[in-house]
Structure formats: structure tokens, C-alpha cells
């Protein structure tokens, strides 16, 4: 399984994401779950699950279907690590 995103990539939560995931928010990838180990991760659909951190320091686990690359949204480019959205 190939990851769409990597550690420290800048992403935007898709507008179709549930409200608790903050649709439209900018975040950084801080974790990637390739393996389906543990009951919590097994609750997600098949695919990669990411841990993202928002600029306020809060974080969420989110399925890859609910993430977009920040550069596709008019930002400075994913993985730059220096952008202030």
C-alpha cells in the first residue's frame, strides 16, 4: 500500500469529512498507520490512517479519503514544512 502523504506533509481536511475532523482545516501529518493493529484503527475503512495535528496542537486520526494535499488547494505545496496557512 503506497502512502499518499508522508510525515510532516501539510494537508487539508476534505470538505466531505465529518465535522469533528474540521473540514477545510489545515494540518500536518504526524503519524501514519499502515498496519491494522488494534481495535481503534480497525474501526476505519481499509486504507491508510493518518494522525494529523492542527495548528492549535490538537490532533485526530483520519482516513486517507478525508485528506487533500495542501498544494491542490492553492497552498505552497505539501511537505514544505515552512508554510503558515
Does pTM surpass 0.85? no
Residue 80 is classified by DSSP as: -
Q: What one-character-per-residue DSSP string does 21-38 give?
A: G-TT-EEEEEEEE-S--S
| Helix/strand/coil for 3 | coil
Output phi, psi for 29, to 5 deg.
Answer: -75, 125
Domain spans of the chain, in order of start: 10-73
pLDDT tens digits for 6-21?
Answer: 999 999 999 999 999 9
| Helix/strand/coil for 49 | strand
pLDDT of 26 over the 50 cut = yes
**CA-CA-CA-CA torsion for 23, 26, 77, 46, nearest 10 degrees?**
-50
Amino acid at each position: 500500500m503506497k502512502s499518499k502523504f508522508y510525515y510532516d506533509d501539510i494537508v487539508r481536511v476534505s470538505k466531505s469529512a465529518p465535522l469533528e475532523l474540521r473540514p477545510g482545516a489545515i494540518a500536518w501529518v504526524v503519524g501514519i498507520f499502515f498496519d491494522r493493529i488494534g481495535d481503534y484503527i480497525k474501526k476505519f475503512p481499509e486504507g491508510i490512517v493518518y494522525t494529523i495535528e492542527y495548528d492549535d496542537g490538537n490532533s485526530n486520526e483520519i482516513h486517507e479519503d478525508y485528506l487533500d494535499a495542501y498544494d491542490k488547494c492553492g497552498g505552497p505545496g505539501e511537505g514544505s514544512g515552512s508554510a503558515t496557512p
